[in-house]
Amino acid sequence: MNISKSEKITNIATKRGFFFPTAEIYNAISGFWTYGHLGTLMKRKFENLWRDYFLKLNDNFYEIEGSNILPQKVFKASGHLDHFNDPLTECRKCHFRFRADQLIEDELNINAEEYPLEKLDKILKKEKLSCPKCSSQDFQKTKSFNMMFDLKVGSTGTEISYLSPETAQNPFLSFKREYYALRETLPFGLAKIGKAFRNEISPRQGFFRLREFTQAELQIFFNPDKLDEAESWNKIKNYKLQLYLSKNNKITLTSCENANKKLNLPKLYLYYLAKTQQFYLDTLKIPKAKFRLRELSEKERAFYNKIHFDIELDLETLKGWKEVAGIHYRTDYDLEKHQKASGEKLEVLNEGKRFFPHVIELSFGVDRNIWSLLDIFFKEEKERTLFTLPTNLVPVEVAVFPLVNKDNLPKRAIEVYNSLKDKYQTFYDFKGAIGKMYRRMDEIGCPIMLTIDHQTLKNNTVTLREIKTMKQIRINIKKLESTIEQILQGQKLNKFGKYIS
């Protein structure tokens, strides 16, 4: 049977414990997924890499943790109650509800994301598009559907609240407290890694478009007079960005300096664009050809953004370029709106001037990045499938097996396992023939596999096999730790000894 790459990855993910539909024993509601033991390890690694990288860009960047349920007033002020809508259409015949813009995009291959409702209706009619369920061409008028989940808090049910559709609101609500606690210095950054909730109309695309998902967002508050200043500008001014501009529909390599002078993009914004590109190319090891920074036109941008580039990755499973993160210049939109609605002073007096700090937001969808990594690093060979993930993202770093389940080999293998497990994410396996155990570890992207055999009992050496080439070397147990360390740092296996196969 011919199954798609997306199905293959989903099959491995669900079978091996990366992720699976939540409540699947009750037929699951689409858009909700549970991370299994491997997925949780990988997600945590991604989040820690993100923390390590972005929070260290400035000594004044910190992480906070806030509530996911926020009162209605927050979203009235932020604009989400009025603007956070998707165009909903219903088939008159079978009553299937779907996003009009998505059907148009799928069928006509055009970007219809920001089309007004009337235009969507016209296209549906003119192009004679059919209901994805029953093929009828008779639809209700498209209307706006607010994507937030509402809740009634407390026993009286009078406190209407919402599950937050973005983690960003917490930093805005915490701004005043943190600004004064952090000695009134700008720029300063507040990050939150947490859940966001969106009542997506008909989430397809499996693990990519979710109703409950994790965002890693960093709000950088700064003095707007300094928008065209970046402390480390000299370090990135010659760095080439892979820009996909709305006006010319192709990727152009543009230095930050040129983007500043010729495209009028401010230095502070470009600095974070460059750092984000470096995160993808250098830390996550995304191949250059699969990465681009796509500029969103004024019509496409979210209602709060003045400059907006999305990070897009070319994903085979989703047939092309898909958004996994965005760098947004939100101006003073949020602080100004929250001051007005709450009556709380959010303007600051800084360097003798009173103003609303402006915000550059780095916004990442964690789950989308996890899916993209699995897509990009998935490989199929004649006898096996594998993930060649960068070692800083693999859920299991080392696997240990006895060659056979007898002759004292399991005992020795468990000793080796015990000596490594506190330092590395280590898995002990003994179920099945050695070939099978190798294949299972290949399938989850484990880079280092150690086999304990009869020779181990004689001379204290083990076989170390690497995932990419399947090559093996014989290595003394005393050297295991230092060798594993170096392989995880990116050293090639042949540095450590002769290949034995």
CB 170, min distance to ligand GAP, A? 11
Nearer to ligand GAP, 367 or 442 (CB): 367
Which residue in the set 91, 103, 129, 168 belongs to the binding site for ligand GAP (CB under 6 A)? 168
86, 101, 121, 200: which one contacts ligand GAP (CB under 6 A)? 200
State yes or no: cis peptide before 390, omega within 30 of 0.
Answer: no
Beta bridge partners of 440: none
Stretch near ligand GAP under the rule CB under 6 A, chosen from 2-10, 86-94, 338-346, 357-365: 357-365
Q: How far is the CB of 217 from ligand GAP (least distance, A)?
A: 5
Min dist CB 214 to ligand GAP, Å, is 8
Q: Measured between alpha carbons, how far is residue 401 from residues 19, 90, 426, 449 in Å?
A: 25, 56, 11, 8
Q: Which has the closest alpha carbon to 300: 284, 323, 273, 281?
A: 323
Pick 200 or 429: Cβ nearer ligand GAP: 200
Of residues 179 through 198, those in contact with ligand GAP by CB under 6 A are 198
Min CB(122)–ligand GAP separation in Å: 27
Instruction: Quote the least distance from Cβ 323 to ligand GAP, whole Å.
Output: 5
Tokens of 204: 């397809």
Residues 6+ apart with CB under 8 A from 156: none
Which position among 166, 312, 314, 429 is part of the footprint of ligand GAP (CB under 6 A)?
166
139 in Cβ contact with 90 (< 8 Å): yes
List all residues 6 or more positions away from 308 whose beta carbon is below 8 Å from its beta carbon.
295, 296, 300, 301, 302, 326, 327, 328, 329
Nearer of residues 36 and 79 to ligand GAP, judged by Cβ: 79
Q: Max Cα separation, the chain?
A: 79
Residues 60-99 that bind ligand GAP (CB under 6 A): none
Contact 349, 322 (CB under 8 A): no
Q: Which is nearer to ligand GAP, 45 or 330 (CB)?
A: 330
- What binding mask, one character per residue, do residues 205-234 give for ligand GAP by CB under 6 A, x or -? ----xx--x-x-x-----------------
| Cβ closest to ligand GAP, residue 165 vs residue 395 | 165
In the stretch 387-416, what mask flags binding to ligand GAP with x, by CB under 6 A?
A: ------------------------------
Q: How far, in whole angstroms, is CA 63 from its chain's centroid?
A: 17
**Interface positions, 363-382, toward ligand GAP (CB under 6 A):** 363, 365, 367-368
Minimum CB separation of residue 45 from ligand GAP in Å reads 18
Q: Which is nearer to ligand GAP, 186 or 325 (CB)?
A: 325
CB of 325 to ligand GAP, least distance (A): 5
Strand (E) or helix (H) holding 348: strand 348-350
Question: What values do phi and psi take at 33, rounded to 5?
Answer: -130, 150
In the block, tokens 């005992």 appear at 411
| 325 or 475: CB nearest ligand GAP | 325
Q: How far apart are CA 327 and CA 305, in angstroms?
A: 10
Tokens 């995160």 sit at which residue? 279
Q: Between 317 and 356, how does the x/- string for binding to ligand GAP read (CB under 6 A)?
A: ------xxxx------------------------------
- What separation in angstroms does the CA of 346 have from each of 175, 181, 362? 8, 14, 21
d(CA 10, CA 45): 20
Contact 162, 149 (CB under 8 A): yes
Residue 277 to residue 285: CA distance in whole angstroms: 11
How many residues of this chain bind ligand GAP (CB under 6 A)?
Answer: 18
State in angstroms the smallest separation of the CB of 368 from ligand GAP: 4
Token pair of 465, please? 């096999």
Given the DSSP bridges, would you call strands 240-244 and 143-146 parallel, antiparallel or unpaired?
unpaired
Q: Is the dihedral of CA 101, 102, 106, 109 positive or negative?
A: positive
**Nearest approach, Cβ of 84 to ligand GAP (angstroms)?**
9
Residue 299's contacts (CB-CB under 8 Å, 6 or more residues apart) are 114
CB 293 to ligand GAP: min, Å: 12
**Quick one: which segment of 88-96, 260-268, 279-287, 358-366 binds ligand GAP (CB under 6 A)?**
358-366
Burial status of residue 321 (CB atoms within 10 A of its CB: 0-12, 13-18, 19 or more): middle
> Which residues make Cβ contacts (< 8 Å) with residue 113, sequence separation at least 6?
101, 105, 300
Would you say 337 or 440 has its CB closer to ligand GAP? 337
Q: To the nearest whole angstrom, how small is the minimum distance from the Cβ of residue 320 to ligand GAP?
A: 16
Least distance to ligand GAP from the beta carbon of 101, Å?
A: 14
Residue 121 or 375: the one with the smaller Cβ distance to ligand GAP is 375
SS3 79: coil
Residue 284 within binding range of ligand GAP, rule CB under 6 A:
no
Report the candidate in 204, 164, 205 with the shortest Cα–Cα distance to residue 67.
Answer: 164
Q: Which stretch binds ligand GAP (CB under 6 A): 273-281, 359-367, 383-391, 446-454?
A: 359-367
Residue nearest to ligand GAP (CB): 365
Closest approach of ligand GAP to the CB of residue 76, in Å: 17
What does residue 143 show for φ and ψ, rounded to 5 degrees?
A: -130, 170
> Which residues of this chain interact with ligand GAP, rule CB under 6 A?
166, 168, 198, 200, 209-210, 213, 215, 217, 323-326, 361, 363, 365, 367-368
